[in-house]
Amino acid sequence: MQNVAAVLFDLDGTLVDSAPDLTTAVNRMLADRQRSPMPEARVREWIGNGARKLVARALAGQRHIASEPAETEDALAQFFVHYTDCLVDKSVLYPGVRAGLERLKALGLPLGVVTNKPGRFTDPLLKAMDLAEFFPVVVSGDTLTVRKPDPAPLLHAASALNVPIEHCVYVGDSLADRGAADAAGALLVRVPYGYPGEESAFAGHPQRLTMRVDELAEQINGIFAA
């Protein structure tokens, strides 16, 4: 039986419920552009593929877009200004996150974050949530030239931690996480909350489901055997 060598985490929708602040920033950007605000429930469906995709989807008013609206670049600059202002107004850790990370750390497991969020937000958010100390490796949406579901960010994190990717557990909430874990060869553990993007995102996938990060910490030693 193989042992877990490291645990990698998605950020938005897995460790931090950031949707309320992302919604505020999206709606301030839309207001700048004389457009109507979007309800948080809609914005939740658009999170998971990075800030640029979020902004493009908000401009289009839908998740599936064939091509990016022409104004995306300008709107993204406005979104960056607003999200910087409201980054940690309402964002909170999901229940069990801190206790779970503490337990995993106590087991001696190296931990990392692999997120599609741009680095200019990832680092201050982790600091503000008092999580930075847990993660010697953080790969953001703009650390490399590609993002999840491309496997490269997960492979990069595993290599930075000096562990084989097949011995890594990746904990995530979305379709992009599923794609990245499968393509990289990491074991996907899914949380049932967060922003899956589409309800069918995990249909038919043999992922492990953990209700909370502190439960995962209890199960981690047997996870490859389960």
Cβ neighbourhood burial of 142 (10 Å; 0-12, 13-18, 19+): middle
Closest CA to 176 of 117, 89, 105: 117
* Among residues 6, 30, 48, 91, the one that binds ligand PGA under rule CB under 6 A: 48
With CB under 6 A as the contact rule, the residue among 7, 50, 134, 184 that binds ligand PGA is: 50
CA dist 145 to 95, 165, 189, Å? Answer: 33, 20, 25
The amino acid that residue 52 corresponds to is: R
Catalytic: 10?
A: yes
Count of residues that interact with ligand PGA, criterion CB under 6 A = 15
Whole-number minimum distance, CB 225 to ligand PGA, in Å?
A: 28
10 binds ligand PGA (CB under 6 A): yes
Per the structure block, which two tokens stand in for 19? 């949707």
Is position 17 annotated in a ligand binding site? no
- Shortest CA distance to 13 belongs to which of 46, 53, 62? 46
Taking CB under 6 A as the criterion, the residue among 6, 25, 54, 58 binding ligand PGA is: 54
- Which CB atom, from 127 or from 218, has the smaller least distance to ligand PGA? 127
Minimum distance of ligand PGA from residue 41's CB (angstroms): 16
Judge whether 10 is annotated as a binding position: yes
Is the CB of 109 or the CB of 178 nearer to ligand PGA? 178
Buried b (16+ CB within 10 A) or exposed e, 160-193: ebebebebbbbbbbbbbbbbbbeebebbbbbbee
Burial class (CB in 10 A: 0-12, 13-18, 19+), 133: exposed
Residue 115's binding partner out of Mg ion, ligand PGA, none, with CB under 5 to 8 Å set by partner kind? ligand PGA
- Beta-bridge partner residues of 139: 114
CA gyration radius for the chain? Answer: 17
- Among the listed residues 10, 17, 21, 177, the single catalytic one is 10
214 among the known binding-site residues?
Answer: no
- Establish if 23 lies at the interface with ligand PGA (CB under 6 A): no
Give the residue ranges of the annotated binding site: 10, 12, 173
Binding site for ligand PGA (CB under 6 A): 10-13, 47-51, 54, 115-117, 141, 174
Residue ranges for the binding site for Mg(2+)? Answer: 10, 12, 173
Catalytic positions are 10
